[in-house]
Amino acid sequence: MEWGSESAAVRRHRGGAERREGPSPPSPPPERKASVPAPPAGADERDDGRTRKRSPGGGGGGRGAGPGLPEARTALALALYLLALWALVRLSLRQLVWRGTPGLPGEFDAGRARDYLEHITSIGPRTTGSPENEILTVHYLLEQIKLIEVQSSSLHKISVDVQRPTGSFSIDFLGGFTSYYDNITNVVVKLEPRDGAQHAVLANCHFDSVVNSPGASDDAVSCSVMLEVLRVLSTSSEALRHAVVFLFNGAEENVLQASHGFITQHPWASLIRAFINLEAAGVGGKELVFQTGPENPWLVQAYVSAAKHPFASVVAQEVFQSGIIPSDTDFRIYRDFGNIPGIDLAFIENGYIYHTKYDTADRILTDSIQRAGDNILAVLKYLATTDMLASSSEYQHGNMVFFDVLGLFVIAYPSRVGAIINYMVIMAVLLYLGKKLLQPKHKNFNYTKDFMCGLAITLISWFTSLVTVLIVAVLVSLTGQSLSWYNHFYVSVCLYGTAAILKIIFIHTLAKRFYYANVSDQYLGEVFFDVSLFVHCGFLIILTYQGFSSAFISAVWVVFPLLTKLFVPKDFKQHGTQGKFIALYLLGMFIPYVYALYLIWAVFEMFTPILGRSGSEIPPDVVLASILAGCTMVLSSYFINFIYLTRSTKKTMLTLTVICTVTFFLVCSGTFFPYSSNPANPKPKRVFLQHMTRTFHNLEGNIVKRDSGIWINGFDYTGMSHITPHIPEINDTVRAHCEENAPLCGFPWYLPVHFLNRKNWYLPAPEVSPRNPPHFRLISKEQTPWDSTKLTFEATGPSHMSFYVRTHKGSTLSQWSLGNGTPVTGRGGDYFVFYSHGLQASAWQFWIEVQVSEEQPQEMLTVAIAAHYLSGDDKRSSQLDALSKKFPDWTFPSSWVCTYSVFVF
């Protein structure tokens, strides 16, 4: 009897019987002979599918199937393939600009822009309200703008305005809070045709910085680029059709205040039809277009047509707008308060030193400046000369799918076209799989059953893979060795990546050995290829149905493998699993795999540094392990069939087990230190130190408690565990305790990030005595005709203050004079107001209205005000300086003085 005439059940039964009874000498030869003939030409793959018994070595049965792929060569070929693609991706990322002749007339000159950058950063940290920001930087900008104006062509007219707006708004960032600003600074330049213009495009940067950082990448380099773009456009012999407004705003780090002041109050704001916002989430590299629109595809087309060195992704846009990245830009202000479409760009590389003292001009490559300048100049020139700018509202119709191809060019098309393409791809897959799944049952096999079992095995392998890496991540976190990969990223791959792929291979090897014990290798390769195709098609259906433009990724992972499948099978059937098959198969997978690695690079380039500043509540190893597991699932999806095509997987699993186990023990033993003080590539631990004095008042206004100390926050999961050996006094005995009756636990949070960082320390220290102490008082308390109580307050103090409100039982905050008049609660139910002012600001007066129940409680609400001294002599104290010097060189301790006062009304 030939194997082809046996049912699957009979073959499984026979295989089991043979394993139990051992080989029978006289019978194997006829069976082996029966399995030798190759299938007839043109036979369907099912005819030689489940009809061949696997050889004892685990390879395919019969000559038609070949002896199976050698394990070592196959594993090495796949590894080298991925490494080669990764090298190609890295090469494309290092190629910042295509070489030309710099400094030609009409071209962007990165050398000149670097001079601007070095002058701005030499001023030092530039917090809003400081002389460095409000006087020195503004003076330098005006000086350079004046020189540019002198050199400008007679075709153009330059107007300059220094705006100092006052205003307030609410924002749903960080759980929701309200912002108030007074007398902050904007330097605004309008370049327009000599006869004027009715429409304008806006270019925005900010020259302020966070406290204790020179802010070279965020965002002095963008302002330097804009100065040089202004010079080039103003000296051009080509006339502009529309105006270009350059906004150098001085209060972006104050949660987007200056852009709000411009777009809601400046007279030129009414001219703006589109904008380009220049930002940073890292230091240097390529500037990524990570937001566009909303719903203005012509802006994407403008970038595609004009940008010389494109780097853009709708994937980044959808990830950023999902809110999982704790950051925001002026893009939000122009979109929400100005109803203006735009393009948001940011440097994303090397986020480890973003917002630290290491963010210096020398770390930004000249080529990074050149490519940013080339792109911004070209896009601004395009927008300032196109007819679409004047009637931009007419082109507001849907979103765009856009992505660059290794930085060479951008592919862009409307999302509605993308949806049509996606559904066409889905239909092709359904036809391909439907032909197999709906075919009549064969007496020798059941493809539908094998497909469904293969799908279940694949999903189980992915689920168990995720569970495995999460268990490993939790164990690492429990040993206190979180972030071991922060300074050695390869550690995460060797630990979590190997664990993920090991579990996937293990599950499929079990299935191959026990469930598919007597099934042809080729047949299984076909089944599991189809399973992977089906899974990616499922993701394509879900993403397309949900309206995600990034569904194009799933389309890529369906189209090219399907095309590969249509060309490879002929060779596969005729020659079996040989080298030619592998070469053709990997060649067909080139585009999806290289683009996947391109995206994976961007994901880890952005998220790895963020996990070092994401607070004490989110276990970073769990997050990173989950991301790595997801990447492993994607990259392994079309390689699963090789598990069934190879003779064995023992050596591969053993190698992965050794790598994972050794790495795990090295990590748990503390071999890999998370941080680095290497001058060439620092990766510091961020620590915030606030020397403060707290004062608590009761309902009668009497002081019931007063203390002073240095409040310490380590903004990553390791807390102070690595600091305590160097500074023994910072230990768990001085952990800060929450003041339950005070807003935000009784601590002077600069921003409402208390929910991210619940572990902090409070080291006793003498009282602070700033020369400009804050003053807070109740001006009036009156009953309104609608039975609410209106409280009017006045506050004076430094350039940055935070105001907190907590209502008591029976009281609600009905309205106030801030924002749009409707109070916005933050996480936890307290109200947070961020206040800042420039120079020479008047006293801050505002009112709140409290609605009380019929039985009015004695205490309606508790308020608190924190004053933050971020510049000048009041910023420092001898105790703060002494403690800061004790921190090891692999830390970045950012420190300032503050006060915190609580009042009950």
Tell me 6's DSSP state. Answer: S
Which of 89, 349, 127, 376 lies closest to 232, judged by CA? 376
Distance CA 415, CA 99 (A): 34
Cα gap 141→147, rounded to integer Å = 10
**Cis-peptide into 619, omega within 30 deg:** no
Q: What does the alpha-carbon distance between residue 361 and residue 115 come to, in Å, rounded to a whole number?
A: 10
| CA separation for the pair 768, 868 (Å, rounded) | 12
Distance, in Å, from the CA atom of 807 to the CA atom of 814, rounded to the nearest integer, reads 11
Of 795, 505, 463, the C-alpha closest to 657 is 505
- Determine the Cα–Cα distance for residues 414 and 420; give it in Å rounded to an integer: 10
Q: Are 519 and 15 in contact (CB under 8 A)?
A: no
Residue type at 588 in one-letter notation = G
CB contact at 8 A, 182 and 166: yes
How many CB atoms are located within 10 Å of the residue 146 CB? Answer: 11
Helix (H, G, I), strand (E, B) or coil at 280: strand
* Distance from C-alpha of 166 to C-alpha of 282, rounded to nearest angstrom: 30
Q: What is the dihedral of CA 659, 665, 668, 673, to 10 degrees?
A: -60
> DSSP letters along 281-305, please?
SSSSSPEEEEEEESS-HHHHHHHHH
H or E stretch at 686 = strand 685-697
Q: By C-alpha distance, which of 600, 363, 611, 597 is closest to 486?
A: 611
For residue 469, give the nearest of 498, 496, 501, 504 by alpha carbon.
496
Residues 556 and 44: beta-carbon distance below 8 Å: no
Strand 243-249 relative to strand 200-206, pairing = parallel
- β 400-405/342-347 pair status: unpaired
Q: Do 862 and 742 touch, CB atoms closer than 8 A?
A: yes
**AA identity, residue 34:** A
Q: Where are the beta strands (DSSP E) in 729-828?
A: 761-764, 775-783, 788-796, 800-807, 811-816
Decide if 754 contacts 745 (C-beta within 8 A): yes
* Nearest alpha carbon to residue 849 among 780, 788, 778: 788
Q: CA-to-CA distance for 4 and 742, rounded, in angstroms? A: 79
Dihedral sign, CA of 328, 334, 339, 340? negative
How far is it, in rounded angstroms, from Cα 258 to Cα 213? 19
Residue from 670, 829, 635 nearest 744 by CA:
829
Distance CA 188, CA 146 (A): 13
CA 892 to chain centre: 22
Please identify which of the residues 149, 252, 253, 287 carries the catalytic annotation. Answer: 252
Give backbone dihedrals phi and psi of 109, rounded to 5 degrees, phi first. Answer: -110, 105
- The whole-angstrom separation of Cα 290 and Cα 306 is 17
252 is catalytic: yes
Cβ atoms < 10 Å from Cβ of 475:
14
Q: How many CB atoms lie within 10 A of CB 766?
A: 12
Angle at 640 between CA 39 and CA 62, to 5 degrees: 25
Strand partners, 844: 795
Residue written as tokens 């010389």? 308
Catalytic site positions: 252
